[in-house]
Amino acid sequence: MPRVTSADVARESGVSRTTVSYVLNDTTGTVISEETRRRVRAVADRLGYAPSAAARTLRSGRSDLVLCVLPDWPVGPVVDALLDQLTGELAARDLSVLVHHHREHRPLADLWRAVTPRAVVGLAAFSAAEAEGMRRAGIQVIGSVVDPDPRGPDEFAAYQTRVGRLQVQHLAGAGHRALGYATTTDPRLADFAGPRLDGVREECRWLGLPDPPVVPVDVTAEAGLAAVRALRQGPVTAVAAYNDEVALAVLAGARAAGVRVPQEVAVIGVDDVPAAQLAAPPLTTVSQSLELQARFLSASVLAALDGGPEPPRPTDLLRLVVRSSA
């Protein structure tokens, strides 16, 4: 079963390949009779003709693909949802999103060369050399809100910092004076964990609160228990966690230790994962608006492809979701 080509369509409809191409691509600036158009389209349909993307890409040097490179850290439902929405938004512009779970298995260059995407969206950070290589190949390189160093070196950190500040603001607003921080043990998350903790510290300083003790917490009940015990050694009455999973572990630890939440210790997370509202007690958390982030990303991609101006960075991406744990 050989491939159906535009030559087949041309022969079958009694026109040249040029005409087939014009008709099927709705090329402007050519006048082709309605009659001919109809015939060509009918034949193409009947034959099940589909243009060869490889040939098209070779000829034009560009594809309809947008490559989305995922970072080395565990993505979770938040990023899943973001990808879904990005896929939808770009599909409206006839762009297909392809996601690559990058894990240092092979050089990134092998991938984008093989795919020849129109644009590469990095949810992972690219090295300067990688980004440069892609740009030279005519590929648009787009960072993201969740990407370290998307435009300026400080923008990402500033954003993550605000996550931490917001946690402290809520806790302090509820009257807590002695805070603790439960951070992740996953080294791949250092780019996030660092700035978030910085934000927590800065806000504490700003509010005149003591510098919070920091405890690394695995996502297990045992680690949560150890963390709660360690934190309760001191005067800590509230814990800000790196994310909801860590917060859930702290919650489990408090439960095991017989420490009541939020009466004896308050807990606040980040992300608002599905399990957050089902926790005991329901978890107070900071959610990052996926809709806005996804819309910003797709707008960035489109702007880069159209050569338009960069879309404005979304503001107030962060929202406090107050439940019972803090």
Contacts with its own copies, residue ranges (CB under 8 A): 1, 3, 48, 50-55, 57-58, 61, 63-65, 67, 74-77, 80, 83-84, 87-88, 91-92, 94, 96-101, 103, 105-106, 109-111, 113-116, 133, 136-137, 219-221, 224, 245, 248-249, 251-252, 255, 273-275, 277-280, 282
322 touches which of its own copies, DNA, none (CB within 5 to 8 A by kind)?
Answer: none
Other Cβ atoms within 10 Å of 39 Cβ, number: 17
CB closer to DNA out of 110 and 222: 110
Of the chain, the end-to-end C-alpha distance in Å amounts to 65
Question: Least distance (Å) from its own copies to the CB of residue 103?
Answer: 6
Question: Least distance (Å) from DNA to the CB of residue 87?
Answer: 24
Contact 163, 189 (CB under 8 A): no
Residue 184, helix vs strand vs coil? strand
Question: Least distance (Å) from DNA to the CB of residue 43?
Answer: 13
CB closer to DNA out of 60 and 233: 60
Beta strands in the chain (DSSP E): 65-70, 96-101, 119-122, 140-142, 179-184, 214-217, 238-241, 266-270, 284-288, 318-321
Distance CA 169, CA 175 (A): 10
CB closer to its own copies out of 29 and 48: 48
Question: Least distance (Å) from its own copies to the CB of residue 220?
Answer: 7
Distance CA 261, CA 251 (A): 8
Question: Least distance (Å) from its own copies to the CB of residue 172?
Answer: 26
CB closer to DNA out of 30 and 220: 30
CB closer to DNA out of 61 and 235: 61
Distance CA 321, CA 326 (A): 10
